Amino acid sequence: MGVLYGYIRVSTQEQNEGRQVLALDAVQIPKENIYTDRQSGKDFQRPMYRRMLKRLKQNDVLYIKSIDRLGRNYEEVLEQWRVLTKEKKVDIVVLDMPLLDTRRGKDLMGTFLSDIVLQVLSFVAENERKNIRERQKEGIEAAKLRGVRFGRPVKPVPENFEKVCGKWAAGEISGRMAAQECNMPFSSFYRKALCQEQPFTGQTKG
């Protein structure tokens, strides 16, 4: 058997990597052989994974906690599995799914069964991620209907805002001057001014 490696991946929105670290410690992976990437779901650049790939040699063994650590979607997981097992010729052990252990069943039937299990699990993992995102979206929409506000809290307007708005609407001062009197950026002043109940013309009086 070759060298033992471990790979950990967490996104910026996930909990820390503690569970994955403990799982790799339990199978006694040397700490210097554990590679960890942290990145957002949008940007899947993985410098530590690429560095690990360069070190992996035939008959080495790569341990991961779960199959979705290899990629962010079904196609990517399958592609990385192919690269590791076919091109690099290393073994993979998925700790939370004992059936996905390429050290076992090196014959044709064993490989066939592993490939089927891999495709099913990859599909299920991607579907679960989609379902989570959909539930989050539905939860946000429901919260908005209840009046819950998201994002930065709205800053209150200054005390002289309505008075200055009146002068601006009457053409007594320009929008730039009005914004300065309110100590606000012009874009913020204009946006809030248009939301006032008094009937402004809607034209920018710069």
DSSP the chain: ---EEEEEEEETTS--SHHHHHHHHHTT--GGGEEEEEE-SS----HHHHHHHHH--TT-EEEESSGGGG-SSHHHHHHHHHIIIIIS--EEEETT-TT-BTTS--SHHHHHHHHHHHHHHHHHHHHHHHHHHHHHHHHHHHHHHTT---SSPPPPPPTTHHHHHHHHHTTSS-HHHHHHHTT--HHHHHHHHHTSSS--------
Confidence at residue 201, expressed as pLDDT on a 0 to 100 scale: 43
Confidence at residue 106, expressed as pLDDT on a 0 to 100 scale: 66
Confidence at residue 175, expressed as pLDDT on a 0 to 100 scale: 84
Residues with active-site annotation: 11
Confidence at residue 200, expressed as pLDDT on a 0 to 100 scale: 41
**Stretches in the chain below the pLDDT threshold 50:** 197-204
CA distance 34 to 64: 10
Q: How far is CA 27 from the centre of its chain?
A: 28
CA distance 78 to 41: 18
pLDDT digits (tens, 9 = 90+) for 60-96: 999 999 888 888 777 788 888 889 988 999 999 999 8
| pTM confidence score | 0.57
Confidence at residue 52, expressed as pLDDT on a 0 to 100 scale: 95
Confidence at residue 202, expressed as pLDDT on a 0 to 100 scale: 43
